[in-house]
Structure formats: C-alpha cells, structure tokens
Amino acid sequence: MNKAIFNPGNYPKNIDFALLTIRLAAGGFMLTHGMGKFLKLFGDDPIKFADPIGLGVTASIVLVVFAEVLCSLFLILGLATRYSAIPLLITMLVAAFIVHADDGFGKQELALLYSTIYLAIALAGGGKYSIDNYIHKR
C-alpha cells in the first residue's frame, strides 16, 4: 500500500490544484446556468423572473446575473475570489430557502451543494493558481 496517498502531510501540496478544480467547475457550471438569464435580461421580450426578496423583478434578475455571470467569471479566473464567492453563496441560499422553500429537499439540494462549495471557496480563497495569488505576490 502506498502510504504517501494516505499521509495527511500531502494535502497541502494538492490543495491548490483542488481549489483550481473546484473554482473551474463551480464557476463554469454556474456561468452556463446564468447565461440564459443574461440573454433574457438583454432580450426584447418582457422579463419574467421571480422576485423572491421583494426588490422587484428587474433588480432581482440584475443581481442574479451579476452573481451567476460576472462573479462566476471572476471565480474561474481567481480574481477577487473570496468576494466573488459571496454573491454566489447568497444567490444559492435564496434559491434554496426562499425560491424553493415549498418544493422540498429534492429541489433545494443542488442550490445547497453550490452554497457549500461557494462557502468553502470564500473561506479558502483562490489558491496558488489564481490571479489573486499573482497580484498578492508582487
């Protein structure tokens, strides 16, 4: 058995690659999810969107597009990573606990999974393979 695989001392060597992988996956998947809303926002059809916290339909979709498109791009790049994860976390918590509050766990599950990922990114930061790391090394 290869003891190096199970040695906790190896985790710090892999954590930066793990953070990169998580940022790319969570940011990329959410970006594709948000592009439909982005196109809806700038389309010719009237906006039909939920207003879960009472800000108005237009403000709600603008905030969601900001999080799901712009913050996802920043997350992928590792730019302002911790700050970018916060609007995404809030968006997913609103989706889970307000938009899908009456739909049961099956509808809340994905939003809660994303929430957990964004919380972890907000706590850990972008890691070695991020623009944040490049900027702060200077």
Q: Give the pLDDT confidence of 111-120 residue by residue, as tens digits.
A: 999 999 999 9
Predicted local distance difference test score (pLDDT) of residue 9: 59
Per-residue pLDDT tens listing for the chain (138 residues): 555 555 555 666 789 999 999 999 999 999 999 999 999 988 888 888 999 999 999 999 999 999 999 999 999 999 999 999 999 999 999 999 999 999 999 999 999 999 999 999 999 999 999 999 999 987
User: What's the pLDDT score for residue 104?
Assistant: 93
| Amino acid in the structure at residue 5 | I
Residue 12 has a pLDDT of 67
User: How much is the pLDDT for 134?
Assistant: 94
Tens digit of pLDDT for each residue in 95-110?
Answer: 999 999 999 999 999 9
User: Is residue 5 a contact partner of residue 13, using CB atoms and an 8 Å limit?
Assistant: no
- Please give the model's pTM, rounded to 2 decimal places: 0.89
Report d(CA 138, CA 132) in Å as an integer.
10
DSSP per residue, the chain: --HHHH-GGGHHHHHHHHHHHHHHHHHHHHHHHHHHHHHHHTSSSPP----TTSS-HHHHHHHHHIIIIIIHHHHHHTSSHHHHHHHHHHHHHHIIIIITTTS-HHHHHHHHHHHHHHHHHHHH-S-SSSHHHHHHH-
